[in-house]
Structure 1
Amino acid sequence: MKTLLALALCTAAPAMAAPVDLVTLYKDLHTHPELSLQEVRSAGIMATEARAAGFTVTEKVGGTGVVAVMKNGPGPTVLVRADMDGLPVKEATGLAYASAALGKAPDGGMTPVMHACGHDIHMTVWIGTARALAAAKDKWSGTIVMIGQPAEEVSRGAADMIADGLFTRFPKPDFALALHDDSRIPAGTVSVPQDRALSTATMMDMTVRGVGGHGASPATTKDPVLLASRIVTGLQSLVSRENDPFHPAVVTVGAIHGGTKHNIIPDEVRLQLTIRSYDMAQQQRILDGIARVARGEAIAAGIPENLMPQISNSAATPPTLNTPELAARVQARFVQTLGADRVITLDPSMASEDFNLFGTVAKIPSVIYWLGGARRDKWDAAQSGGPAIPSLHNSGWAPDPAPTIATGVTTMTDAVMMLLPRQ
């Protein structure tokens, strides 16, 4: 572990200036997050670092995507993915290197931006892995395709890179690997899902319509605020009473917007939902149930047919399922490298990803694994009833940089070298 990390930290291409150490690089990325489809600075850093390590680099693949290729003799091709985008979250960690960045939201307004999902860790580990693999070329044989993916948070970047020729313009991989930081386990540990890793997800926009009017005369209106509230409450029964409890599902209303003033009943209220499960047929049943509940509540409220709720859904991101055989090999390797006490078993996550597209489109084995990021002292305290560790997407989430990065570089480098044995 120390040898690989030293290589990652200290190795540069001939005639290049000494590379920035990884923790310093991480803090810079953390301070300067960029929203989905706007990852220009982040992509530039990744491209520069990969070139310095000796990779052949192509930029602007599928938007702001980066593809770095290193060929090193005969053997398989391994794809290593890191995502780059931040989230529209105002950071509240209190760190000296906290983000104060602003980004342009889809509606054209400006919003605070934070790496609340840890993609800054992913990029840093990607760079460290590139350095380490370049420095250890005498120990592996084959081809490495390292990609910096944009727009993971909007489930778009993987598809955009594939549509832009990822598997035709560059060597087609035989394996795909990725990692994701995790607040459920402490820094220095990892977890490798043996099958189910991440759920399918559908993003839904619902417009609840009514007849507006004066707040003092509700009888002259059809109140969409009240109707939206009834719909939100009614949706809870879809999981609690209609879903098989042995098949997990989540229906979350993440945003509700309506009205402009205390005494005005508006004409409409807008809801934004996320729906998640591990089965596409189950997912469709839940989507159909949401439409049924919304329509039923509208009928009960006396809404006329021409004002029934309007619903639009994103295309569902398929569930991310690790290839069991490859996952078993990766886990066994990590046990050998880190020790069994640092390889932890976790339940599947109801978060979602688009990493699965690389494996399914290329029809190759793929694995994403969890990289512990919680500070050990805070994690220990949380296990004893102390303050809970903030989850990903929380404004207070802050990975412990040095041990998280070190473990990520060591494990990802080790996994790649396992798949590319010296010929």
Structure 2
Amino acid sequence: MSAGSIGAEELGQAVRRVLPQAQELRHRLHRIPEVGLQERCTAEELRSTLAALAPDAELLPPYLETDVTGLVRGLAPVAVGTRPSAPATARCVLLRADMDALPLEETRDRPWKSQHPGRAHACGHDGHMAMLAGAVAVLAGLAGRFAGAVRFVFQPGEEEVGGGLRLVQRGLLEAEPRPQAVFALHGWPGIPEGRLAAVPGPAMAAADQFAILVRGRGGHGAKPNLAIDPILTAAQVVTSLQGIVARNVDPLMPAVISVCTFHAGSATNVIPSEARLEGTVRYFDPDLKHLLRTRLEEVVRGVCESAGAEH
């Protein structure tokens, strides 16, 4: 950087100047949660805020209608040996934050509580967006002090609908200036305030969901011999699924199968005819996807057949 390095104190002052606006933006975004690929109000709020906080940042046309993308160009010349070159030839990095909320009801009563019934920012994406908007404002204010370019993207549809993949397929990483690296983060309550945590390799697993319906034969609780108990069968399914990772997956390859819901019956003296399980499968290695799905299906089929139940 021929204009001189940006010191920690100078950078800290720039962050502190922007912090109140970033906090206010988070509260505004928290009030208007929107789920995957429907983040129209969120995108409008981000665009208007960026125009006010970072007027020198370039806002670019969206790729997926609800994404917000842009560019901050460093104005310092790039030194190649002793010969300066144009800023356009410098390196470029991309900063990313997710936008979407979850289909949950917010119950806590706060001034910035969700105004959209059945929608809530329960995964911290409002904070991620506020942090990225603040970072854009800081970078735009220091553009004369660094070379190269910083692209930024507020990504819709992170939860379940693959918004990141859709952006890549639409050419996000091919547009000039092309980024040499992409940086993202996720808030984590278990990490002390002011600390960052990182691991070599992937940090967040791929996640699949499953639903299992076990069909038995209902009956009276006093005569279980005349019924095919789906609760007992489903409970055995839950137990048996835990053996997949323990006995079918390489111990050096992280994976987890979690059954997170179990629904059956409505009366204290009636064996129901059905039980429903739902859960998640998570892994890092893409090759595990087929193995875990195949073994899950085999285990469910085998347990149900042994009990005389269907699935």
* TM-score, scaled relative to structure 2: 0.79
1:138 counterpart SS class:
helix
Higher relative contact order (CA 8 A, sep 6+): 1
1:34–1:42 contact (8 Å) kept in structure 2: yes
Q: Does the alignment pair 1:3 with 2:10? A: yes
Question: 1:85 is aligned with what amino acid?
Answer: D
1:70 counterpart SS class:
strand
Structure 2 unaligned residues grouped into runs of 5+: 1-7, 75-86
2:113 to 65, 88, 99: 99
1:67 counterpart SS class:
strand
Question: 2:113 is aligned with what amino acid?
Answer: S
1:356 aligns to what? none
2:207 aligns to what? 201
Measured after TM superposition, the shift of residue 262 of structure 1 is 5.1
Matches of residues 62-73 of structure 1 in structure 2 within 5 Å?
62-72=64-74, 73=87
Measured after TM superposition, the shift of residue 183 of structure 1 is 1.7
Equivalent pairs, count = 289
CA deviation profile, 1:367-404 (whole Å, cap 9, x unmatched):
xxxxxxxxxxxxxxxxxxxxxxxxxxxxxxxxxxxxxx
1:31–1:99 contact (8 Å) kept in structure 2: yes
Question: 2:93 is aligned with what amino acid?
Answer: V
2:237 counterpart SS class:
helix
Judged with a 3 Å threshold, the aligned counterparts in structure 2 of structure 1 residues 152 and 238 are, in CA distance, closer, same or farther, namely: same
2:69 counterpart SS class:
strand
CA deviation profile, 1:174-227 (whole Å, cap 9, x unmatched):
211111111221111112223232223222232323344666665554333332
1:77–1:172 contact (8 Å) kept in structure 2: yes
1:179 counterpart SS class:
coil
Question: 1:49 is aligned with what amino acid?
Answer: T
User: 2:267, 2:245 → 1: CA distance?
Assistant: 34
2:189 counterpart SS class:
strand
Judged with a 3 Å threshold, the aligned counterparts in structure 2 of structure 1 residues 179 and 240 are, in CA distance, closer, same or farther, namely: same
1:179 to 177, 185, 197: 185
1:115 counterpart SS class:
coil
Judged with a 3 Å threshold, the aligned counterparts in structure 2 of structure 1 residues 170 and 216 are, in CA distance, closer, same or farther, namely: farther
User: 2:151, 2:31 → 1: CA distance?
Assistant: 27
Aligned-residue CA RMSD (Å):
2.9
Q: Does the alignment pair 1:232 with 2:238? A: yes
User: 1:261, 1:124 → 2: CA distance?
Assistant: 48
Q: Does the alignment pair 1:45 with 2:45? A: yes
Judged with a 3 Å threshold, the aligned counterparts in structure 2 of structure 1 residues 282 and 55 are, in CA distance, closer, same or farther, namely: same
Question: 1:80 is aligned with what amino acid?
Answer: L
Measured after TM superposition, the shift of residue 60 of structure 1 is 4.7
1:146 aligns to what? 152
User: 2:302, 2:58 → 1: CA distance?
Assistant: 58
User: 2:114, 2:143 → 1: CA distance?
Assistant: 40
Q: Does the alignment pair 1:222 with 2:228? A: yes
* TM-score, scaled relative to structure 1: 0.60
Structure 1 unaligned residues grouped into runs of 5+: 12-18, 104-110, 310-423
1:131 aligns to what? 137
1:209–1:269 contact (8 Å) kept in structure 2: yes
Judged with a 3 Å threshold, the aligned counterparts in structure 2 of structure 1 residues 20 and 184 are, in CA distance, closer, same or farther, namely: closer
Structure with max Cα Rg: 2
CA deviation profile, 1:84-113 (whole Å, cap 9, x unmatched):
122234446x5744534445xxxxxxx3x3
2:170 aligns to what? 164
User: 1:219, 1:38 → 2: CA distance?
Assistant: 51
Judged with a 3 Å threshold, the aligned counterparts in structure 2 of structure 1 residues 219 and 102 are, in CA distance, closer, same or farther, namely: farther
1:91–1:98 contact (8 Å) kept in structure 2: no
User: 2:218, 2:127 → 1: CA distance?
Assistant: 48
Judged with a 3 Å threshold, the aligned counterparts in structure 2 of structure 1 residues 144 and 249 are, in CA distance, closer, same or farther, namely: same
Question: 1:79 is aligned with what amino acid?
Answer: L
1:249 aligns to what? 255
